[in-house]
Amino acid sequence: MLIKSQQYSEQISSDLATAVSTIERCKSTLQDRRADRSHFETICQRARQFTETHGIEPLLIQQLGHTRRQRYADGSSDARDDHIEKSQEMQQQEEEDSFYVNVYLSAMDCPVVDLTTRYGDSILPVVRQMMVFSACNLHSMAGITENDVNTFCENYGLESGVVVRELNSFKPIFRDSHRLVCMTDVVSNVPASHNDEAQDYDATGDRWIQHTYLQPYHLLHQLSGFPTLLTVYKV
């Protein structure tokens, strides 16, 4: 149960860290589409094309009713019919404007507000800096500075200078020794007869190990001299 709990915790942390850019991109897209009515007009145009293609009469048109234009022998029509048609077009435009304000804008606002509430400006930088401690980042040759972890350390009451010093000392050790760390507890056992399925599990397990924190966490437990960094991975 403890191993399973660790796996779920690691997966959640990885998902959150990877999701930061996705969240910010979604918020930006929703805000842009809210500010630009042309996107709403495109949706309306597609809706009209769909109803015409499938022979569906919109409810608004049904409510406005069908007015048959009276034609005279010379082909002209009654001016009153023109006035009725223009009134119907104005009413249809008013209905679209009302839908835009009461439905479309609300539909754009709800997810933006929800994303902002769940992932506010105070938590996103912390989650983003979590990736500094992931296994894949430890393979990079670039050194870590206090600016890379200051928000994370401040949030958890850690000394950023100590964390950076231990992390930069640990990175080359991890690059040289990570293959010696036993990770069989996070790779599912698949019968040998299911070769394709086994390969899929292996590939997924490798990606999962690379983007989470369990492998460096295991190695830190076998070393001494990194007490603050071990505390970071326990967080």
Give the residue extent of every domain in the chain: 36-118, 124-234
Residue 204: which residues within 8 A CB-CB, separation 6 or more? none
Q: Which two tokens stand for residue 148?
A: 């890379």
Greater confidence (104 vs 125) lies with 104
Find out whether 158 and 231 touch, Cβ atoms under 8 Å. yes
Q: Is residue 17's pLDDT more than 70?
A: no
Confidence of residue 7 (pLDDT cuts 50, 70, 90): very low
Q: Please name the amino acid found at residue 148.
A: D
How many degrees, rounded to 5, is the angle at CA 12 between CA 11 and CA 18?
90
Range of weakest confidence among 113-122, 195-204, 226-235: 195-204
The residue type of 200 is D
**190, 198 in Cβ contact below 8 A?**
yes
Per residue in 106-120, pLDDT (tens digit) is: 999 998 888 888 777
CA geometry: angle 232, 118, 123, nearest 5 deg = 35
Give the burial string for 165-174 (b: 16+ CB within 10 Å, else e): bbbeebbebb
- 3-class DSSP assignment, residue 77: strand
Helix (H, G, I), strand (E, B) or coil at 69: coil
How buried is residue 227: exposed, middle or buried, by Cβ count under 10 Å (0-12/13-18/19+)? exposed
Q: Is the pLDDT of residue 231 over 50?
A: yes
Is the pLDDT assigned to residue 140 strictly greater than 80?
yes
More confident residue, 103 or 3: 103
Question: How far apart are alpha carbons 179 and 209 in whole angstroms?
Answer: 11
Structure tokens given for 121: 């400006």
Residue-level pLDDT at 81: 53
Q: Of 119, 132, 125, which is closest to residue 233 (Cα–Cα)?
A: 132
pLDDT tens string 175-193: 888 778 777 665 555 454 5
